[in-house]
Structure 1
Amino acid sequence: MSSSSSLDSSFDANSGSILVVLSTLYKNYQTKTPQRVKLIDQFIILSVLVALVQFVYCQLVGTFPFNAMLAGFFTCICSMVFGVSLRKQLNPDTSKEFRSIVVEKSIADFVIISILLFFVAVSYLG
């Protein structure tokens, strides 16, 4: 019985420290992250959520228009990857690696490759 109570107390201590770490992480993110990077993070989260919704839908209902399912799912995943790349280029913490790239060029590259991705996805639909 004493080992059970010691496990419970250690779990409570660990969960408390995890909450402190997560709280500190969230506060630092809110105060130190630029608004532009937060917007890109929201786009990345949205892309992942839409991909998950499409995956769950295909598991529940089926993949009848298979090309449409593949085009939609991979478009979400590719948009997420492009967003992560844009975030890395625009983040001030990693800007030392991308000194030669202008911010406007990074955004233009993202827009052009996204338009190209959507054209490929639409042409894949048939």
Structure 2
Amino acid sequence: MAKKPVSSSAAAKTSTPVAASKPPPASRTASGSVSTPSTTAARPTPQSSLSPRSSPQEIIVHVWNRYLQDTPSRTMLLDVFMAWLVVVGGIQFVYCVVAGNYPFNAFLSGFSAAVGQFVLTASLRMQTSERPPPGASSAARKTTSKTVDAVSGEMVESGKVSTERAFADYVFGSLILHGFCVNFIN
């Protein structure tokens, strides 16, 4: 029985080890001790900071994890509703392009209802956000005072609207928007 000659590329493939990996280099911590990173933690944790050379996928995962960790459930509910309004508006627009726009008033009414409700929901989200604006300093946050509004009798924080008032404005604006849309259909 004669053996076939083995090509050099096939021999090279069989002679190299399958998993030849070097351990990660050791680094010095602030206290001067040497620490070696573990090889099992390949993914960044949500608490880790991003480096300037992070890949787009790492950035997206980091932002998503921070969003899930830091955002209250009420705000997430508003975000889901806003995403749903984008989907509804997109479906209406695609339908108008594909199937035609014969009852054009109906398309305009439905599309403007989706866009208007998105804007009202974004406004509600901004007013009920529990985080201070990014430019506000910690000293400015501590000096805010609560006063009683003379007209409505509500507690108001130096120009900030209460959550109940913001929701009432949202409902009132939604009723006006949808009344306009129903009237516009004809």
5+ unaligned residues in a row in structure 1: which ranges? Answer: 1-15
Equivalent position amino acid for 2:78 in 1 = I
Equivalent position amino acid for 1:51 in 2 = G
Mapped to 2, the partners of 1:75 and 1:124 lie a distance apart of 11
Matching residue of 1:48: 86
Q: For the Cα contact (< 8 Å) 1:63–1:69, is it kept in 2?
A: yes
- Per-residue displacement from partner, 1:35-76 (whole Å, max 9, x unpaired)? 010000011111111000000000000001010000000110
Matching residue of 1:81: 119
Matching residue of 2:180: 120
Equivalent position amino acid for 2:88 in 1 = V
- Give the C-alpha shift of residue 118 in structure 1: 0.6
Corresponding residue SS for 1:101 = coil
- Return the match for 1:102 from 162, 170, 173: 162
Q: Percent identity?
A: 32
Q: For the Cα contact (< 8 Å) 1:88–1:94, is it kept in 2?
A: no
Corresponding residue SS for 1:122 = helix
Runs of 4+ in 1 over 6 A off after TM superposition: none
**What is the CA RMSD across the aligned residues, in angstroms?**
2.2
Q: Which has the higher helix share?
A: 1
Q: For the Cα contact (< 8 Å) 1:54–1:73, is it kept in 2?
A: yes
Corresponding residue SS for 2:55 = helix
Determine which structure has greater relative contact order: mean sequence separation of CA pairs < 8 Å that are 6+ residues apart, divided by chain length.
1
Matching residue of 1:71: 109
Equivalent position amino acid for 2:181 in 1 = A
Count of aligned positions: 113
